[in-house]
Amino acid sequence: MFDEKIQKGKWVIGVSGGPDSMALLDMVVQENIQVIVAHVNYHKRETADRDENCVRRYCEQHHLPFYVLSPHYEKGNFQGWAREVRYEFFFGLVHQENGDGVLIAHHKEDSIETYLLQKARKMDVDVFGLQQERRIDGILIVRPLLNYTKSQLIEYCLNNKVEFHHDESNFSDIYRRNKIRHDKIDSMTEKEMNELRDEIKSMNQHKVKKRKEFEKQINDGKISLTGYRQMNEQDRIDFLRFYLSKYAYRKKGYSGLQLKEWDRQLFKRNGNVEISIEQFVLVKDYDSIYVEEKKEVSYRVVLDKIELMETPFFKVSDTGKSTESVTVGAEDFPLIIRPYQQEDKICLRFGTKKINRWFIDRKIPLKERKSWPIVENCKGKIILVPKIGCDIEHYSEKPSFFVIKSMIE
């Protein structure tokens, strides 16, 4: 029943002791698939050790490697915390055991339940329901049982004498997911389930079609601002979600409220925009929208005398253009070369010039500005900005040296 990839691989399999995961565990064992069994005991109910011992007995009987995690829960959203802890545990074992990925025993009702929950919460997601395969942090997650119903998996365990135990917390309606399962899914016929699965499939096909359209509008990792502004609001939100999931991936994803606010800034605000997103920055820079990793530019070079040098951000040279030259005397030392700051200005022959205004006039990209070298004398006065020129007091036909800005990749 398993494809060649699963049959030839080495997999971490999450096993809770319930009928779904015990059925999957027995199925892979019967096909001699190499597995490492992982169980998380949250100690949240009295029967938690019973479930752990059930999985342990099976592993001992079949000589399978068995790992148990017993995390300590303090407060907050238990289900969200438990999921994060569980997957970190699985991923750690994949790395430790040099595995090919993780097998999870989600079944048909789980996918429908997820879809109904997404609809109830009006969630705007990348995928409706559950995917057969997906990658998180580079780890492949496979759900081989999505075509099975829960009753079929229970029947499998009973027919094959595989021990299992029900998680009693699933009988409670404390969690919304459980309530959806009890109020809607438990009373569904298989025909109704299959109709819902067809609906999920259709909606996901529509998503795929849209993603292909979005992909065409991304050139070298950048979005055309003109094309973006021609979309309606919902398409812009969908496009942003797709783009960020591809170029600024994070585990928690992006909420609809976040995306709407970022869209508002990108769509309506004039001028350049920088939006901080954890370790990334979403940038609207003249005609483009793009994302880049945050890189703090920080350097401070002190010169007690003229020294020719080359750094990742600038070069001090004895040749260059007139707008890169400056003439200094002993009274100017020590000189400081540092990155541009927002409030910087320089006094030129035709008056004081805000450096930021010059950047705007010349349409200098934001990432170029952050590393632009500024030369100060010992009094803190800006005496040179490469490509703008030196201040009026430090100009001559025989400059002392040149400062040339390096090209930033």
Q: Give the pLDDT score at 398.
A: 95
Residue 201 maps to a domain: no
Q: Which of 49-58, 136-145, 169-178 has the lowest mean pLDDT?
A: 169-178
Q: Give the pLDDT score at 169.
A: 66
What are the Cα distances from residue 377, in Å, to 186, 332, 384, 390? 77, 5, 9, 12
Are 129 and 249 in the same domain?
A: no
Q: For the segment 29-87, what is each residue's pLDDT rounded down to a tens digit? A: 999 999 999 999 999 888 999 999 999 999 999 999 999 999 988 777 888 889 999 99
Residue 207 maps to a domain: no
Q: Give the pLDDT score at 167.
A: 80
CA proximity to 301, closest of 399, 396, 371: 371
Are 230 and 191 in the same domain?
A: no
* φ, ψ (nearest 5 deg) of residue 313: -110, -25
Q: For the segment 363-381, what is each residue's pLDDT rounded down to a tens digit? A: 888 888 989 999 999 999 9
Are 10 and 33 in the same domain?
A: yes
Are 175 and 277 in the same domain?
A: no
Q: Rounded distance, CA 392 to CA 350, Å?
A: 9
Residue 204 maps to a domain: no
Residue 377 in tokens = 């004398």
Are 73 and 149 in the same domain?
A: yes
Q: Rounded distance, CA 141 to CA 227, Å?
A: 35
Q: Give the pLDDT score at 296.
A: 81
Are 244 and 314 in the same domain?
A: no
Q: 57: domain range?
A: 4-195
Confidence class of residue 182 from pLDDT cuts 50, 70 and 90?
Answer: low
Q: Give the pLDDT score at 25.
A: 98
Average pLDDT over residues 203-212: 90
Whether the pLDDT of residue 171 is over 70: the answer is: no
Q: How many domains does the chain have?
A: 3
Q: Give the pLDDT score at 390.
A: 96
When the pLDDT of each residue in the chain is averaged and rounded to a whole number, the result is 90
Look up tokens 């994060």; give the residue.
84
Q: Give the pLDDT score at 251.
A: 64
Q: Does the global pTM surpass 0.85? A: no
Q: For the segment 219-244, what is each residue's pLDDT rounded down to a tens digit? A: 999 999 999 999 999 999 989 989 99
C-alpha dihedral sign at 2, 6, 8, 12: negative
Whether the pLDDT of residue 118 is over 60: the answer is: yes
Q: Is 59 exposed, middle or buried (0-12, 13-18, 19+ CB in 10 A)?
A: buried
